[in-house]
Structure 1
Amino acid sequence: MQTEPNAVGNKGLKSGQRLTRETIMKIKMFAATAAMALSFGATSASADCGEVSITEMDWASSAVVTAVANFLMTQGYGCDVQVVPSSTVPALTSLAET
């Protein structure tokens, strides 16, 4: 049985199929290009964030959600986050008036 001189990594292929070095290089080039494209998209998304204000209510679960949102927006997107403390009644009154 003859094999191609540049055939490597043929495990999992159907009988008669060969994975050549050229094919492996094409796969690696595609993966590198896709990784670069994805990283450029994340960079441009973080550049557009700017200033954000988040209201933190006076109950425990709101504090947790606000802390997680603050962390994600600051660390993940580079936003300048301002946390504004509030309570339920003034916040609902403000929403009703606007």
Structure 2
Amino acid sequence: MKLIYSTIAFYALTMSPAFASADLAKKNACMSCHAVDRKLVGPSYQDVAKKYAGQKDAVANLANSIKAGGAGKWGPVPMPAQSALSEVDAKTLAAWILAGAK
């Protein structure tokens, strides 16, 4: 029984954050409007990462944009607010996007 718990704990602690974040994006329907490498309804994650590259507090700023939504940053289609998303999940998604959504 200890072996089973140890194995589960090992995989939980070593699961790739990128994999977890991709799942988080899918779970929250982010992929309905965004793709990693091409524009859909909204900008690609690669384009978002380029826009925020080198900015101070990029993760916090992008997480805020995810939660609050907005208009005019990427064209005429507004980003709907994702207010049900937790602060932690918004920052996790933002960090994943800024790291190239890999």
- TM-score under structure 1 normalisation? 0.27
- Between 1 and 2, higher relative CO (CA 8 Å, sep ≥ 6) is seen in 2
- TM-score under structure 2 normalisation? 0.27
